[in-house]
Amino acid sequence: MRGRGEVRSQKLEARSQKWGFRTAVVGLLALGLALAGEVKVAAGARPVDVSIIRRVDVAYYPVTKQGPLEFDVEGPCWLRVYTRLWWPAGADGLLKYGLSLWQDDVERPVSFETGLSTSSFGPGDRKVGEWRSFYVQVPEGKSHYRLAVTSGPAETVGVRLALQSPRPGRQAAIAGARELVLADGRDTSRLWELATGQAATLELVGPCRVRVRTRLSFDPGLPGVQNFVLAAREGKSLLVRGNMKAARSPSATYVNEPGLIPSTERVLKFSLPSGRHELTLMLSGTLAKSGAVAVEVIAAEKYE
């Protein structure tokens, strides 16, 4: 294995009779949090080329229910799994499909909705969907994975594997809210206090994805596990509502508020279209008097 941040490539031979594809090289780049990483796809799996804008050919593995993709990853690292639906003949609009990623006996189901790509195509000018992706945090050592299609209008989904870490988000401040400094081990971060039953207002500019990292604040007399609801609204419209449950964190503290104990973290995610958005966040449904949130804004990606 070469040093951190270097490209590890493996030359893969295409199966000419069934797919008519040429030899491709899969480049896997370790970024960000990827301290080490290597992906080894099981013998027998063969990639195919998907041509994207500017006619750059990128190797995708065809995956089906009966033909899952098996691979090993040497961690610790982040793995990003790109997927493209092999577009069914005559279909239009948005289509949904699902996959399951297995690590030993642990299943992680994922599902996506995609439209037809206008700039990318598969072998023989086959139509494909716009790419959709998800991340896997791979632990230290070698991990074995199996990925299979579970649902959708087409038998096949193309899959590309890349060693990439999630992009960091830009944190948005909440006007008028008190800042709390969270310490968890050696890590520190800023959160904004959210009083139960009181709306907090913030302004964001889209298009973007929003990730709200949330912790309840336990006082000494509050019992062990608490239910709570976190809702995000724009005007009178409810954007997203999360029903969550949290207990005291065994390791986190508020540096500037030692009388409160932060809970374990829970996350609420949603997306915003183009334009300026004035949002409200509200915490409810709990005996806790307050919580704390970090609102992270992640720029929207261009799907091709």
pLDDT in tens, 192-220: 999 999 999 999 998 888 989 999 999 98
**CA 156 to CA 137: how far, in whole Å?**
25
pLDDT over 60 at 144, yes or no: yes
What pLDDT digit, counting tens, does each position of 46-101 carry? 888 877 655 678 899 999 999 999 999 999 999 999 999 999 999 999 999 999 99
**CA 218 to CA 80: how far, in whole Å?**
36
> Which of 14, 241, 236, 283 is closest to 122 using CA atoms?
14
Residue 43: predicted pLDDT: 81
Residue 237: predicted pLDDT: 93
**CA 6 to CA 36: how far, in whole Å?**
10
Please indicate whether residue 57 or residue 237 has the higher confidence score (pLDDT): 237
Residue 35: predicted pLDDT: 44
> Which of 286, 288, 285 is closest to 218 using CA atoms?
288
pLDDT over 80 at 273, yes or no: yes
Residue 4: predicted pLDDT: 38
Which tokens go with 281?
Answer: 């966040």
pLDDT over 90 at 279, yes or no: yes
**CA 19 to CA 122: how far, in whole Å?**
10
pLDDT over 50 at 300, yes or no: yes
**CA 86 to CA 123: how far, in whole Å?**
10
Question: With bands split at pLDDT 50, 70 and 90, how would you rate the model's confidence at 303?
Answer: low
Please indicate whether residue 299 or residue 243 has the higher confidence score (pLDDT): 243
The rounded percent of the chain whose pLDDT value lies above 90 is 62
> Which of 256, 184, 176 is closest to 213 using CA atoms?
184
User: Do you know the residue count of the chain?
Assistant: 304
The answer to whether the beta carbons of residues 162 and 29 sit under 8 Å apart is yes
Average pLDDT over residues 244-265: 94
pTM of the complete model beyond 0.85: no
Peptide bond into 207 cis (omega under 30): yes
Tell me the CA distances in angstroms from 47 to 13, 24, 245, one per residue in order. Answer: 8, 8, 42
What pLDDT digit, counting tens, does each position of 126-139 carry? 999 999 998 998 98
| Lowest mean pLDDT across 23-37, 59-73, 79-93, 274-288 | 23-37
**CA 26 to CA 9: how far, in whole Å?**
6
What pLDDT digit, counting tens, does each position of 149-192 carry? 999 999 999 999 999 988 777 889 898 899 999 998 888 999 99
Average pLDDT along the chain: 84
